[in-house]
Amino acid sequence: MIILGNVIDEQGRCTHYSKKEDTISIKFKCCGAYYPCYKCHEENSNHKTQPWKQEDFDEKAIFCGVCKKDLTIHQYMNSTNCKHCHTLFNPNCSKHFHIYFETGHNSTCTF
């Protein structure tokens, strides 16, 4: 898997988010490319983020940098850890869900 952006290690951490729990990358709906975070996407692409629509939440768009396996958006949003390797997700990532995913509120939010 190629992860674009300001990646600093083999598990997909970036210059913006580098805690132990920061190991997932997200396939962006707008370009199909994987980035560790919206800031990396903003700094390294030439277009605005387009959030995934709720009807697309069965799409495998989350990549675990620890076990190197994909998760669906539903699996990611409804869990605190990877279903494959049980690595904990950073709970603060949910504060940015409205950027990546249509959540019913702020679904048109861009940064």
**pLDDT of residue 89 exceeding 60:** yes
Domain that holds residue 54: 1-111
At 106 the pLDDT is 43
Mean pLDDT of the chain: 92
At 103 the pLDDT is 82
- pLDDT by residue (tens digit) across 90-111? 999 999 999 999 987 543 333 2
What's the pTM value of the predicted model, to 2 decimals? 0.89
**pLDDT of residue 71 exceeding 90:** yes
Burial of 33 (0-12, 13-18, 19+ CB in 10 A): middle
At 2 the pLDDT is 95
DSSP state, 72? E
Give me the amino acid identity at 19: K
Overall domain count for the chain: 1
Q: What is the mean pLDDT of residues 41-67?
A: 97
